[in-house]
């Protein structure tokens, strides 16, 4: 069984990757999380772009474990905030990973922004780095609008505040989509879809 490490502390990303791999019918690929490998010092996510940060995470995973390594760096880019929070999305409120505080701050910052200027995009860059040094970086984007209050129980992070533009999601936040609906439309779904052939090949190596 081939192994790939998802160098992420976010369990929701692990679940999304597992669903994409299962939906693609890829068998023979075991996805490990950081909890499944010996602890190693993680480097700061201090890149200027999602792509740089995804590479930082994937390269350090390969260096530490010798396993093929996948990493996602993602966030929400709000038009009215000139693309911020962007790479700072996970720590926008100053407390890393505090979804509730991050969402509250974003809502407050946009309180005077009218509906027609609440456009935003979720962005995901995914990097796959192999022990032989091969590096592949892909990107997916998901356009929508920032709502005026949180809505819906699913997903994570900014999902309750994000209303996708796509017709099938009409009138719902991304936290009101089923996991399968989110995968088929989302930034991460679009990025990971581009890596499916490489993951299939990894699995086939046994």
Ligand X SMILES: O=P(O)(O)OP(=O)(O)OP(=O)(O)OC[C@H]1O[C@@H](n2cnc3c(O)ncnc32)[C@H](O)[C@@H]1O
Residue 126: closest CA among 61, 200, 52 = 52
For 172, phi then psi, to 5°, come to -120, 155
Q: Which does 188 bind (CB under 5 to 8 A by kind): Mg ion, ligand X, none?
A: ligand X
Q: Which is closer to ligand X, CB of 15 or CB of 204? A: 15
- Give the chain's end-to-end CA distance (angstroms, integer): 5
* Secondary structure class of 43 (helix, strand, coil): coil
Q: Which residues make Cβ contacts (< 8 Å) with residue 83, sequence separation at least 6?
A: 77
Q: Which is closer to ligand X, CB of 95 or CB of 201? A: 95
Cα–Cα dist 41/62, whole Å? 12
**Does the footprint of ligand X cover residue 75 (CB under 6 A)?**
yes
Q: Is 57 annotated as a binding residue?
A: no
**Does the footprint of Mg ion cover residue 90 (CB under 5 A)?**
yes
Sign of CA dihedral 152, 157, 162, 164: negative
Segment interacting with ligand X, rule: CB under 6 A, options 5-13, 24-32, 163-171, 190-198: 5-13
Q: Which is closer to Mg ion, CB of 54 or CB of 169? A: 54
| CB closest to ligand X, residue no | 157
Q: Is 13 annotated as a binding residue?
A: yes
Segment interacting with ligand X, rule: CB under 6 A, options 21-29, 129-137, 156-164, 196-204: 156-164
Contacts to Mg ion by CB under 5 A:
90
Binding residues for Mg(2+): 73
């Amino acid at each position: 069984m081939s192994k790939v490490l998802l160098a992420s502390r976010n369990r929701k990303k692990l679940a999304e990757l597992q669903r994409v791999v299962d939906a693609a019918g890829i068998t023979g690929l075991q996805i490990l999380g950081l909890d499944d490998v010996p602890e190693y010092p993680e480097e700061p996510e201090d890149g200027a772009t999602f792509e740089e940060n995804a590479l930082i995470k994937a390269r350090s995973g390969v260096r530490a474990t010798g396993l093929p390594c996948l990493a996602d760096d993602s966030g929400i880019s709000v038009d009215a905030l000139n693309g911020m929070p962007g790479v700072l999305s996970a720590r926008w409120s100053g407390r890393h990973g505090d979804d509730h505080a991050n969402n509250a701050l974003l809502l407050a910052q946009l309180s005077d922004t009218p509906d027609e200027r609440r456009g935003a995009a979720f962005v995901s860059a995914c990097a796959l780095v192999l022990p032989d040094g091969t590096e592949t970086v892909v990107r997916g984007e998901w356009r929508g609008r920032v709502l005026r209050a949180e809505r819906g129980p699913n997903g994570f992070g900014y999902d309750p505040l994000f209303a996708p533009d796509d017709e099938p999601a009409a009138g719902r936040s991304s936290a009101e989509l089923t996991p399968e609906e989110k995968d088929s439309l989302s930034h991460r779904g679009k990025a990971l879809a581009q890596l499916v052939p490489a993951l299939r090949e990894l699995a086939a190596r046994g």
